Amino acid sequence: MSTTQAPQAGDLAQALAGTHAEADLAQLAQRRLLRLATAGSVDDGKSTLVGRLLHDCKAILADQIAHVQTVSEARGGDFDFALLTDGLRAEREQGITIDVAYRYFATDKRSFILADCPGHVQYTRNTVTGASTADVVIILVDARHGVLEQTRRHLAVAGLLRVPHVVLAVNKIDLVGYDEQVFRGIAKDVSELADQLGIADVQAIPVSALVGDNVVDHSASTSWYDGPTLLEFLESATGRSDASGQPLRFPVQYVIRPQTDDEYRDYRGYTGTVASGTVSVGDPVIVLPAGRRTSVAGIDRAVITATSTAVEERPAAVAGEAVTIRLADDIDVARGSVIVAADSSPGTRRELSATVCWLSDRPLSVGARLLIKHTTTTAQAIVTKINGVLDLDTLGVIDAAGLDLNDIGKVQLKVAAPLAADPYSSNNITGSFLLIDAHDGWTLAAGMIDEEEGELL
Amino acid sequence: MTAVDMPQATISPVTELDALESESIHVFREVAAEFERPVILFSSGKDSIVMLHLARKAFAPAGVPFSLLHVDTGHNFSEVLDYRDATVDALGLRLEVARVEDYLADGRLRERSDGTRNPLQTIPLLDAINAHRFDAVFGGGRRDEERARAKERIFSLRDEFGQWDPRNQRPELWSLYNGKHKPGEHVRVFPLSNWTELDVWSYIAREGIALPSIYYAHERDVFERDGMLLAVGPYSQPRSGETVERRVVRYRTVGDMSCTGAVASTASSPAEVVVEVAASELTERGATRADDRVSEAAMEDRKREGYF
């Protein structure tokens, strides 16, 4: 880092006085959560951008600043924002980010969980991890260098994981003299790639993380840019977490049977998190994989005091809520069952066509026997075919005999148990899965179920 | 890789606290379904109390299907031990206690020169995990607390020596938590990973969760050391030059009494604490934990060895 932008603890304290202290607690209680992921290439200033965002949102406190100042000075350098996020010994020693770090900050409107993902190609699996839950992915490009191979990879990951919004932060815009043409050129290159990858929404923003241009406040140096600042965009972006308009999917996690001598003697509740849709008392549903029809007798939420544990009924629950459902009929329901809308059942399948991100340095070959973890079902699986691997240069699929670390490939799987699965494009929970090494339990791949065939049973 | 439009989405109707609560409950249920012998680490600190509250919600109207484990430094605030025992009694829970003092008594551990016992908890903790064959161990750690914790998974594998390998963690995607482990290994589970200190206090206020009284403003004889207010008590006495004052203080964290500092505060209710935390200039560990100030990577080093 060449210029000092050291925030002073005193200034910060001053800035903090009268911000949150006056925050309306009721407003705080209504705040919504947005999940972000950052992705960038080496040295494009990602840690500085994250540090800037946290600092300008007053999420970095005096002792953290003092810590970074002490360590920066001990190394004879200027204030290094990266030290705020690079927490591991090896990261500090090597000056790189190794693993996803989670950061938390908030404004009066939103609170944010930021998955700060490393840029090095060998850590692409971490970008996949961060993007899997993200509502917004922020991809950084150095204005001086434009689109790099890592940019293409990160865009491909964002497209593949169907992150609802991509922000292209064209960073170090100060170092190209705030040149509009440079910004437009990079934005156009990325827009073309996004079209090829099926990413609908890319917001390009010219920023300087170091100076603070267009991160929180509009920059006077980019008068040609009339779009939102990064924070304005994040405060208004919609999330993927609202899947409440889709058909009901409710994977059963655990069955509650208190078997106590009280009013709950015969209680039998199916716990889970609503994956998509809305569930209301009285709704007709189908329980997969058995395919039995029944209806929702009750939806319960816990009511607990210091000494008592009970439940109360609620009329409905929406996607994202962890609840307990009771059914009208006494049918066989267990972990692995999925309760779905009666008029929109996905059915079940034992064969899957899927796109997988290979996350292990052990290569995949045809015939491999693995475990698949899909919603609350874990079953054996065999890789019956590898259809190809994504070529990042052409964004086409080319033939491949196997998959190596960081490859994005097309595979076919045969599964030992019927899965109540949807295509990932319509449901990111019932459409996703892990592949796991049956011997040592390692997570080998992240999978997304394709839209094509897949034998319906 | 074909173009398909995402379903048009708006921001979720679920509020931040409800979203965090649901995520934590989901984690508890996954563990109950996939592990044989889970245990909740319960220090009677606010995070472990919130954890227990969420566990109770996850399985209501049935009871919590896990026992509790307290790693006892022997340097306790009496209010905190009273809270622990009252909670266990009221809820009919099973409590295991691993005592650092047993290890000091028979020489398996030796008192440190600084008198602090937080780092001494690791071995009693690992021994208790082995002795009871616990395979999933819930901890109240939050990612916003500390730099090394910011990197940890919600399901975090420990090898047969109880060690964490931060450079070789399993990817954790969507809400698919992989709890597979080999015999002898165990998984640390952090249901509060995504909660901040402010979230925890907002939730305590919303849910009306009772806490040990030392979390709220009270008068206490304290002396200042390393910028922290330490209580005068059996485990911490002022050295020469340190003066004792009676101050109105509260605790932001609860740990080994000899190295956990109080903060000057008049906040006497959860709502007042929420306002205070929101305006605080210091993180809770920065304000109150001497043991995290040892080095740049003090927490990482302790965690690698098997600490909470």
In a domain, A3, yes or no: no
Q: Indicate whether A256 and A193 sit together in one domain.
A: no
Same domain membership, residue A88 and residue A175: yes
Domain count, chain A: 3
User: Is a pLDDT exceeding 90 seen at residue B8?
Assistant: no
- Give contacts of A440 with chain B, Cβ < 8 Å: 180, 182
Q: Do A441 and B296 touch (CB under 8 A)?
A: no
pLDDT band at B87 (very low <50, low <70, confident <90, very high): very high
Interface test with B, best of A68, A111, A166 (most B CBs within 10 A): A111
What pLDDT sits at residue B112?
85
Instruction: Say what the pLDDT of residue B30 is.
Output: 98
Say yes or no to pLDDT of B1 above 50. no
- A361 and A336, same structural domain? no
Q: Which of A164, A271, A320 sits opposite B19 (nearest CB)?
A: A320
Tell me whether residues A376 and B33 touch, CB distance under 8 A: yes
When scoring B5, B16, B149 by the number of chain A Cβ atoms within 10 A, the one with the most, hence best to mutate, is B16
> If contacts are CB pairs under 8 Å, which of residues 158-217 in chain B contact chain A?
166-167, 169-176, 178, 180-182, 193-194, 196, 198, 202, 206, 210
CATH code where residue A397 lies: 2.40.30.10
Q: Are A205 and A130 members of one domain? A: yes
CB contact under 8 A, A311 and B90: no
Give the per-residue SS3 of chain A: CCCCCCCCHHHHHHHHCCCHHHCCHHHHHCCEEEEEEEECCCCCCHHHHHHHHHHHCCCCCHHHHHHHHHHHHHCCCCCCCHHHHCCCHHHHHHCCCCCCEEEEEECCCEEEEEEECCCCHHHHHHHHHHHHCCCEEEEEEECCCCCCHHHHHHHHHHHHCCCCEEEEEEECHHHHCCCHHHHHHHHHHHHHHHHHHCCCCEEEEECECCCCECCCECCHHHCCCCCCCHHHHHHHCCCCCCCCCCCCEEECCEEECCCCCCCCCCCCEEEEECCECEEECCCEEEEECCCEEEEEEEEEEEEECCCCEEEEEECEEECCCEEEEEECCCCCCCCCCEEEECCCCCCCEEEEEEEEEECCCCCEECCCEEEEEECCEEEEEEEEEEEEEEECCCCEEECCCEECCCCEEEEEEEEEEEECCCCCCCCCCCCEEEEECCCCCCEEEEEEECCCCCCEC
CB contact, 8 Å: B131 with chain A? Answer: no
Q: Is the pLDDT of residue B266 over 80?
A: yes
Domain-located, residue A214: yes
Domain coordinates in residue numbering, chain B: 16-198+299-304, 209-292
Q: Which fold has domain B16-198+299-304?
A: Rossmann fold (3.40.50)
Whether A454 is covered by a domain: the verdict is no
Which of A162, A233, A242 to mutate to probe the B interface, most B CBs <10 Å? A242
pLDDT per position as a tens digit, B125-158: 999 999 999 999 999 999 988 777 888 899 999 9
Please check the confidence at residue B232 and state whether its pLDDT lies above 50: yes
Mean of the per-residue pLDDT values of chain B? 87
Pair A312, A203 in one domain? no
**Across B2-11, average pLDDT:** 38
Highest mean pLDDT pick, A20-29, B62-71, B295-304: B62-71
Distance, in Å, from the CA atom of B217 to the CA atom of B250, rounded to the nearest integer, reads 5
Query: Domain with A164 in it: what CATH number?
Result: 3.40.50.300
Give the domain range for residue A208: 9-236
| B286 vs A224 pLDDT, higher one | A224
List pLDDT tens digits, range B25-51. 999 999 999 999 999 999 999 999 999
Nearest to B15 among A30, A88, A303 (CB): A30
Task: Choose the closest CB to B174 out of A25, A246, A428.
Answer: A428
Which residues, given as ranges, of chain A have pLDDT below 70?
1-27, 42, 82, 85-98, 119-123, 240-243, 452-457
Nearest CA in chain A to B286: A63
Task: Look at residues A212, A236, A260 and tell me which one is the last residue of a structural domain.
Answer: A236
Report CA-CA distances (Å) from B171 to A434, B168, B176: 10, 9, 10
- The verdict on a CB contact (< 8 Å) between B53 and A304 is yes
Q: What's the pLDDT score for residue A8?
A: 37
Residues A272 and A406 in one domain: no
Cβ separation A273–B57 shorter than 8 A: no
Q: Is residue A4 part of a domain?
A: no
Do A180 and A256 lie in one domain? The reply is no
CB contact under 8 A, A63 and B282: yes
Query: Which residue of B26, B171, B280 is in closest CB contact with A128?
Result: B171
Confidence (pLDDT) at A121:
62
Identify all chain A residues contacting B269, using CB atoms and an 8 Å cutoff. none
In this prediction, residue B225 carries a pLDDT of 85
Say what the pLDDT of residue A393 is: 78
Residue A176 domain-assigned? yes
Establish if A241 belongs to a structural domain. no
